[in-house]
Chain A
Amino acid sequence: MDAYIQGIIILTGINLLAVLGLSVLTGFTGLFSFGHAGFMAIGAYVGAIFSSKLGLPFAAAIVAAAAGAGAVSVLIGRLTLKLKGDYFCIATLGFGEAIRLILNNWKWAGGARGWDNLPASVTIWNVLIVDAIAVVLVWNLLNSRHGRNMVAVREEELAAQMAGVNVFRYKMIALFVSAALAGMAGAFMGHYMTYITPKLFNMVKSTDLTIIVIFGGLGSVSGSILGTLLLTALPEIFRAFSQWRLVFYGLAVIVIMVGRPQGLIGGMELTPAGIRKIAAERRAKSALAAAAKAAEQGGEE
């Protein structure tokens, strides 16, 4: 396969890992993070320590990256998950930037210059296999009792609490899952580019991930997958317009929020059952409209 095409597939696969995690957090639990690039950074650096300094195999580096980012997320979650709305957003923003600045000053890991000569362990196959595992795990989590509890927290926190859902615990689970996946994505990124710098994991990266989740549609795993495919691959294809790419990107976000807040396929899933459900709702809607029309005409006569 063409090396360029392979590169796009690998990048899309890496982004997908991080987006899947964020989909659990933002799409299903309703927490909005501006700092997930921070978790990617932790994963990337932990992974680099395991493979480059300790000389352990890539698989161990990936597991350690997920565990490292997950462990930090538990600490951060303890501190910030009690906060609501804007306060949580600003706290995550602060966390992400703080991680980046700490790495900037960490001479042992290269500081602001970055860390190079990481082993190039990422292949199209290990990315796709890990993606597949992640999709299955996330899908099963969201379709379990736990997933339904997360949606309850998103929809109405107080009511969920009253109904006996441990709101804090489910927010924590969502944050942990999203951080671990982001950490894994960070380690994959490092071992694909063989080079990491703190700058890679700035706020723009965090926002990018969130926008993909929103573009695909909140509360939809297939939407997040579709969003990742479109928003990672399309810019590569339209490279010639790279200057205007982000202009349209920003505009698209506004237009989606104002005109189509459910994103591409928010709240729906592109599975046989999901499609049948959508089709049934459409039919019911048109039948209802037809009945209303008939009643109206009947009234006129």
Chain B
Amino acid sequence: MVQFLQQLVNGLSIGSVYALMAVGYSLVYSIMNFSNFAHGAVIMLGAYFGFYSLTLLRLPFGVSFVLAAVGTGLVAVLLERLAYKPLRERRAPFLYFIITAMGASIFIENLVVATIGPTYKTYPAVFGQGPIQLGALSIGRIDLTMFVVSAISLTALMIFIDRTKMGKAIQASAYNMKASALMGINTDRVIIIVFALGGALAGVAGVLFGMKYLVYPQIGNITNKSFIAAVFGGLGSLPGALIGSVLLALIETFVSGYLSSQYRDLIGFVILIAMLVVRPTGIMGKSAEDKA
């Protein structure tokens, strides 16, 4: 029973960070209708931004988070303006968007390798040592931070999307871009905001992953999980991305806890393919049109 609860706690903490990635990625997907494969590179930059604002600038922990989020938000917007906007204006097929995103990902990752170097870096210890004991359960301080920070970020995003005018505009554009533009919504601005939000979430996720593991140029590969989670929950659906992420993380931790950690990554891809075959629209996906 204790082991079960322990795995549950671990799964929830890692799942909350998967959710940060997957919600950001799904948000962009819901508006742009293409898979932003550069999302991982932005997450990686977030990890580096957080690392340097903690070590080089010696900023406090909370400020480093904000700084990383603002930085990656800007990078994501810049990427949209320089790379995706010309394609949008040309009405290029989605293939070109995906390839451009892939190119951007290669560019950013290797720019970091060429300038900062391929070595692994360790975040300074921000929290005290030793896990928090809760009866028989032990919760790592970093794991707890991951959960809390992710929950706060996602709640803030949900309030923004539900309660503000811009949030409504995002919802409307996700439903129908053309009609929204006809109703007087500045869809170009919606796109900028969406990339900024997705980028900021990616930045926060990057800092959390950097803290939990290490910082290195290929850390963005972990975004593969968010693609799986997003498809699992229904591509383009934010609640779907959230549920998909938590489920994926729980399945992963239980598989590595009870079976073998070697199968942890494999199980994700197996679920992905099984899901695509059985129910391509995912758990929360509604529109089957043009998707499967």
A and B held together in a complex = yes
Could you pull out 30 A-B pairs where Cβ atoms are within 8 angstroms?
A32-B99, A79-B276, A84-B292, A86-B29, A86-B34, A86-B35, A87-B231, A90-B35, A90-B272, A91-B273, A94-B273, A102-B266, A105-B266, A203-B224, A210-B99, A246-B109, A247-B110, A247-B111, A247-B114, A250-B106, A251-B107, A253-B103, A254-B83, A254-B104, A257-B87, A257-B99, A257-B103, A258-B83, A258-B86, A261-B96
Residues of A within 8 A of B108 (CB): 250
Q: For residue A202, which residue of chain B has the nearest CB?
A: B221
Residues of B within 8 A of A249 (CB): 106-107, 110
**A94-B228 in contact (CB<8A):** yes
**B227-A90 in contact (CB<8A):** yes
Residues of B within 8 A of A124 (CB): none
Task: Indicate whether A194 reaches chain B with its CB closer than 8 angstroms.
Answer: no
Task: Indicate whether B63 reaches chain A with its CB closer than 8 angstroms.
Answer: no
For the complex, what is the distance from the CA of A215 to the CA of B105, rounded to whole Å? 16
B237 CB to nearest A CB, Å: 14
For the complex, what is the distance from the CA of A105 to the CA of B109, rounded to whole Å? 28
Q: For residue B36, which residue of chain A has the nearest CB?
A: A86
Task: Indicate whether B119 reaches chain A with its CB closer than 8 angstroms.
Answer: no
Q: For residue A259, which residue of chain B has the nearest CB?
A: B86
Q: For residue A78, which residue of chain B has the nearest CB?
A: B277
**A97-B103 in contact (CB<8A):** no
Q: For residue A104, which residue of chain B has the nearest CB?
A: B262
Task: Indicate whether B165 reaches chain A with its CB closer than 8 angstroms.
Answer: no
**B266-A261 in contact (CB<8A):** no
- Residues of chain B in range 80-99 having any CB-CB distance to chain A below 8 Å: 82-83, 86-87, 90, 92, 94-96, 98-99
Residues of B within 8 A of A210 (CB): 99, 102
Chain A positions near chain B (C-beta within 8 angstroms)? 30, 32, 79-80, 82-87, 89-91, 93-95, 97-98, 101-102, 104-105, 203, 207, 210-211, 214, 243-247, 249-254, 257-258, 261
For the complex, what is the distance from the CA of A85 to the CA of B83, rounded to whole Å? 20
Question: What 3 pairs between A and B have smallest CB-CB spacing?
Answer: A253-B103, A250-B107, A250-B106
Task: Indicate whether B269 reaches chain A with its CB closer than 8 angstroms.
Answer: yes
Task: Indicate whether B162 reaches chain A with its CB closer than 8 angstroms.
Answer: no
Task: Tell which of A79, A87, A247, A251 touches B235, judged by Cβ atoms closer than 8 Å.
Answer: A87
For the complex, what is the distance from the CA of A251 to the CA of B107, rounded to whole Å? 6
**A250-B113 in contact (CB<8A):** no
Residue among A85, A91, A102, A203 having the largest count of chain B Cβ atoms under 10 Å: A85
Task: Tell which of B34, B86, B265, B292 touches A83, judged by Cβ atoms closer than 8 Å.
Answer: B292
Task: Indicate whether B187 reaches chain A with its CB closer than 8 angstroms.
Answer: no
Residues of B within 8 A of A83 (CB): 276, 280, 291-292
**A244-B272 in contact (CB<8A):** no
Task: Tell which of B98, B228, B231, B272 touches A32, judged by Cβ atoms closer than 8 Å.
Answer: B98
Question: How would residues 262 to 292 of chain B score, 1 for a CB under 8 Å from any chain A CB and 0 otherwise?
Answer: 1101100110110011001000000000111
**A254-B227 in contact (CB<8A):** no
Q: For residue A102, which residue of chain B has the nearest CB?
A: B266
Task: Indicate whether B100 reaches chain A with its CB closer than 8 angstroms.
Answer: yes
Q: For residue B104, which residue of chain A has the nearest CB?
A: A254
For the complex, what is the distance from the CA of A104 to the CA of B261, rounded to whole Å? 12
Residues of A within 8 A of B102 (CB): 207, 210-211, 253
Residues of B within 8 A of A253 (CB): 99-100, 102-103, 106-107
For the complex, what is the distance from the CA of A253 to the CA of B102, rounded to whole Å? 8
Q: For residue B277, which residue of chain A has the nearest CB?
A: A79
**B273-A79 in contact (CB<8A):** yes
Q: For residue A242, which residue of chain B has the nearest CB?
A: B114
Q: Given the known inter-chain contacts A87-B291, A246-B113, please indicate yes or no for A94 contacting B87, CB distance below 8 A.
A: no
Residues of A within 8 A of B83 (CB): 254, 257-258
For the complex, what is the distance from the CA of A253 to the CA of B90, rounded to whole Å? 17
**A85-B94 in contact (CB<8A):** yes
**A261-B92 in contact (CB<8A):** yes
A13 CB to nearest B CB, Å: 24
Q: For residue B94, which residue of chain A has the nearest CB?
A: A85
For the complex, what is the distance from the CA of A249 to the CA of B104, rounded to whole Å? 10
B200 CB to nearest A CB, Å: 23
**B98-A86 in contact (CB<8A):** yes
Residues of A within 8 A of B96 (CB): 257, 261
**A258-B100 in contact (CB<8A):** yes
Q: Given the known inter-chain contacts A79-B277, A91-B276, A93-B224, please indicate yes or no for A246 contacting B110, CB distance below 8 A.
A: yes
**B35-A211 in contact (CB<8A):** no
Q: For residue B282, which residue of chain A has the nearest CB?
A: A87
Residues of A within 8 A of B263 (CB): 105
B206 CB to nearest A CB, Å: 19
Q: Given the known inter-chain contacts A97-B224, A210-B99, A253-B103, please indicate yes or no for A89 contacting B35, CB distance below 8 A.
A: yes
Task: Tell which of B111, B265, B290 touches A84, judged by Cβ atoms closer than 8 Å.
Answer: B290
Q: For residue B292, which residue of chain A has the nearest CB?
A: A83
For the complex, what is the distance from the CA of A86 to the CA of B228, rounded to whole Å? 12
Q: Given the known inter-chain contacts A86-B94, A86-B98, A87-B291, please indicate yes or no for A250 contacting B266, CB distance below 8 A.
A: no
**A207-B95 in contact (CB<8A):** no
Q: Given the known inter-chain contacts A258-B83, A261-B92, please indicate yes or no for A211 contacting B224, CB distance below 8 A.
A: no
**B269-A98 in contact (CB<8A):** yes
Residues of A within 8 A of B105 (CB): 250
Q: For residue A255, which residue of chain B has the nearest CB?
A: B103
For the complex, what is the distance from the CA of A243 to the CA of B114, rounded to whole Å? 5
Residues of B within 8 A of A87 (CB): 231, 235, 276, 280, 291-292
